[in-house]
Structure 1
Amino acid sequence: MEELLAGPGHLRPRTVLQRIFGASPLSPEGLPWYRGALGEIAVGRLLQRLGPEWLVLHAVPVGTGASDIDHVLVGPAGVFTLNTKNHEGQPVWVAGRTLMVAGQKTRHLYNSAHEASRASKLLTTAAGFPVEVTGVVVVVGPKSLTIKARPEQAAVVTDAQLLRWLHRCPDVLDQQEVARISAAAARPGTWHRRPAHPGDPAALQHTFTRLHQLENQARRRRAAWLLGIPAVGFMMLANGAGMGAALFQALAGR
């Protein structure tokens, strides 16, 4: 979410006419970040339902740059890094080292395994004993998830399956181990060499909520105008080519 709101070029100004006809407040570069943020928020809400025996961290900055881990979980069932992927309405197919979305290969499994390995090294150093971490790709809202063969590098579940899958994992850590790992995970210096002062979560959420409202409003307006294309054509004839060109430019303003 923070990357979306802070990233240069992710949002774009709109003229009054563009607002009226439903031009998106998001740039083409910002749209994938927006969808990703929606997926992270959806999974974050699900994780609120885990019991008090779990530590849940969101958007954990890691390394030296701007990379982060969507969610880190520490509980009796172990330590997990969750890599959320919003593929709403798309078919997802998994076998071995391959994860495809709508027939296209992705690096989701590799990236999730890399995150888990990185987290394991950092937590092992911070906690003072070996910490195993399981990478999980959480696919949000897919049309279908087909597991043709067990994924080799990370677990793969949908958002609807996530909590049930976590509850089915056997306990591997005792209370003392959970406490020690949780204490290490909660320290920003465990993850990032130069941890930044965290932003105000409430302010970020408020800004994103407003952006979400504007995007939904724009979608509704585009849909309404597309349904009214015959009326637009009549207006073009009645008001001249200049007005018609402006209308269609606004309608195509994504």
Structure 2
Amino acid sequence: MEDVLTVRRWRRYGADRLYVTRGTGARVGSVDLQSGEVVVDDPLLEGRLRRAAQAYLRADVTELAMTVPAPGVGALDPVDESALQAWLGGDDWDTIDLAAIRGERGSSVRTRLERMADEGWQVVHDVPLGRQGSLVEHLVVGPGGIFTVAERRHAGQHVVVEGRTLRVDGCSTSYLRDARLEAARVRDALLAAACAAVNVRGVVVVQGELEMRTVQPGHDAFAISRQDLQTVFRALPVRLDPARIAAIAHVARQSSTWSH
């Protein structure tokens, strides 16, 4: 017999968790992606929860349904077990190395942005934009201006940016359009919170084989590779002085700014 586990990600109010449910809708448990804490309702299901969480993080999708052996069923036969382990990347199923899976060992977008603090940049993470549960992954305020930053993972895929279009393995995406819309919403919220004459641009940070066919940093939304993130931000012309940066960052950290 087999069971289907569904994994969904929940990111609000600074929290970032995976919730796993069975095909019946019954809750299996959760994984806190910030602390690594695993909470399981039934100890017999912990191994299955960890497998599903690993698969979700590797797949980089919004929701994952994964078929696993039902509780009480014996181990997989050697061929199936080898195939599943190869698909999950060969890791021990009893260990979820979140830092490695999410690329956060000293080289994540969050870490790279925070390293620019000494150069006058301030970052607000997981900004709750509006009442519908939307989150801005990173809001960056610094000498070069104000930016929303979102990461898109396409390891091993060919990503081409040309004009206002971003394609992954030849397929067009809405990444740049979404970044423009998100930046516009952030700008409107800051204006409503009395930050006068602000301009916000969207940045899509790509993990993958990125080919740039257009020079973009002057656009209202642009894409860069993760390894070039700091270089591009440091090369931007100065638009904001330290006092203005501090004032805007202060407003950005107030929950009331984003509750409309």
Q: TM-score by structure 2 length? A: 0.62
Q: Distance in 1 between matches of 2:211 and 2:155?
A: 15
The answer as to whether partners of 1:9 and 1:29 remain within 8 angstroms in 2 is: no
CA offset digits 1:174-227 (Å, max 9, x no partner): 22221221111111111123xxxxxxxxxxxxxxxxxxxxxxxxxxxxxxxxxx
Instruction: Determine the structure 2 residue equivalent to 1:32.
Output: 60
Instruction: Determine the structure 1 residue equivalent to 2:167.
Output: 100
Q: Distance in 2 between matches of 1:87 and 1:179?
A: 34
Question: 2:116 is matched with which residue: 50, 59, 65?
Answer: 50
Q: Which amino acid aligns with 1:168?
A: A
Where 2:147 maps in the other structure, the secondary structure is strand
Higher-RCO chain (CA-CA 8 Å, sequence separation at least 6): 1
Question: 2:204 is matched with which residue: 137, 151, 174?
Answer: 137
Q: Which has the larger radius of gyration?
A: 1
Structure having the higher helix fraction is: 1
Distance 1:12 1:27, change over 3 A: farther
Q: Distance in 2 between matches of 1:9 and 1:115?
A: 30
The answer as to whether partners of 1:12 and 1:27 remain within 8 angstroms in 2 is: no
Displacement of 1:12: 5.7
Q: Distance in 2 between matches of 1:114 and 1:59?
A: 17
The answer as to whether partners of 2:186 and 2:200 remain within 8 angstroms in 1 is: yes
Instruction: Determine the structure 1 residue equivalent to 2:191.
Output: 124
The answer as to whether partners of 2:166 and 2:173 remain within 8 angstroms in 1 is: yes
Q: Distance in 2 between matches of 1:175 and 1:45?
A: 21
Displacement of 1:76: 1.3
Structure having the higher strand fraction is: 2
How many residues align? The count is 189
The answer as to whether partners of 2:128 and 2:136 remain within 8 angstroms in 1 is: yes
List runs of 5+ in structure 1 lacking aligned partners.
194-254
Kindly report which structure 2 residues correspond to 1:142-157, keeping only aligned pairs within 5 A, or say none: 142=208, 144-150=209-215, 153-157=220-224
The answer as to whether partners of 2:201 and 2:220 remain within 8 angstroms in 1 is: no
The RMSD of aligned alpha carbons is 3.3
